[in-house]
Amino acid sequence: MGTIRLYKRDRIDRVIRLDTNLINEVEGAFTDLTTKQVMMPPIMRIDVPQNNGEVDIKSAYIEGLDSFAVKLSSGFFDNPKRGLPSANGMMILLSAVTGEPLAIFADNGLLTDLRTAAAGAVAARSLSREDSRVAGVIGTGSQARYQIEALMNVRDIQKVYVYGRSIEKADQYKRDIESRFTIPVEVKQTAKEVVQGSDLVITTTPATDPVIHQDWIHPGLHITAMGSDAEHKQELDAKVLEAADLFVCDVVEQSLRLGELRSCANDQVRSSAIELGEITSERKNGRSDPNQITICDLTGTGAQDTAIARYVYQLLDTKEDEGHERS
């Protein structure tokens, strides 16, 4: 039997960076989804109605890899009343050779946050104009922060526009980003101003009604919509999808069920939707003209979880050896 190890969030946080190495690993997961046999069973969901909670379980085994992840992610929406975050989670890395559990990452959702942000950077690298300088963010939560951090690895961002329903949270976002990075953040009064002034826009909201409308968008714009991941959520008006030159998503079936395609009845849009892995594997083109309007809708995949779990396991292994050297 191998030795299973438990790694907690602070330990993981010390070794992992939201850098191009991680972005490349997550890009590899999208490429695998297109080019390899992937076993990705439907999400398992356990509801705990008494406590306004739910646990989702995701997994994906990618042909040929020697390990794969099982992820538990929970949302318990009464937690804030107890002073706890709603979201929690953990990942388990299993050997794909023997089935043995190799590692447990009790990360409280950190790896999910990072792989989601890395996917945003993959989308921006494939679809946004290379000369994008102004990034717009709609939403002011942790993903709004991670997405900008990831994006700066792939685009030379000079300015950020942000809009959130709470002006206090938008101001806090501005302070956090400006103190951490050397770029100015401007809080806008409306989502419309963010979209109109940006080269690329990231939506990171739990919205159930569109937060971007068709008459705000302009040639050359790229939008990454990463908020919608459930049957009742929507960030983009269907007319935005109709107006785009290229609609991309992580998994078409998931976008139709949980993402932006769900709210767009236009058959032309639905049938021409392509997957991000088709672009990263160079089977299809990403942006081919600076004036194209492009969209990427991300609902989240078990393949990303497997990619980041394998990556952090390798990092921890390396850093541990270094630790031994030093001590």
Where does this chain bind a copy of itself (CB under 8 A)? 1, 4, 6, 8, 39, 41-42, 44-48, 50-51, 53, 55, 57, 59-61, 63-64, 68, 70, 72, 74-76, 79, 82, 84, 88, 90, 92, 94, 96-101, 104, 106, 108
Nearer of residues 96 and 315 to a copy of itself, judged by Cβ: 96
Least distance to a copy of itself from the beta carbon of 236, Å?
30
CA atoms within 13 A on the CB side of 53: 15
Least distance to a copy of itself from the beta carbon of 319, Å?
20
Nearer of residues 161 and 313 to a copy of itself, judged by Cβ: 313
Nearer of residues 73 and 128 to a copy of itself, judged by Cβ: 73
| Residue whose C-alpha is closest to residue 9's, from 312, 286, 246 | 312
Residues 290 and 37: their CA atoms lie apart, in Å, by 34
User: Which residues are bridge partners to 212 per DSSP?
Assistant: 236
Nearer of residues 104 and 230 to a copy of itself, judged by Cβ: 104
Residues 6+ apart with CB under 8 A from 296: 123, 126, 127, 222, 223, 224, 225, 248, 249, 276
Nearer of residues 92 and 244 to a copy of itself, judged by Cβ: 92
Least distance to a copy of itself from the beta carbon of 10, Å?
11
Nearer of residues 39 and 167 to a copy of itself, judged by Cβ: 39
3-state class of 254 per DSSP? helix
Least distance to a copy of itself from the beta carbon of 308, Å?
17
Q: How far is CA 164 from CA 11, 234, 286, in A?
A: 32, 16, 30
Least distance to a copy of itself from the beta carbon of 40, Å?
9
Residues 178 and 50: their CA atoms lie apart, in Å, by 41
Q: How many CB atoms lie within 10 A of CB 190?
A: 10
| Cβ atoms of residues 140 and 172 within 8 Å | yes
Least distance to a copy of itself from the beta carbon of 58, Å?
9
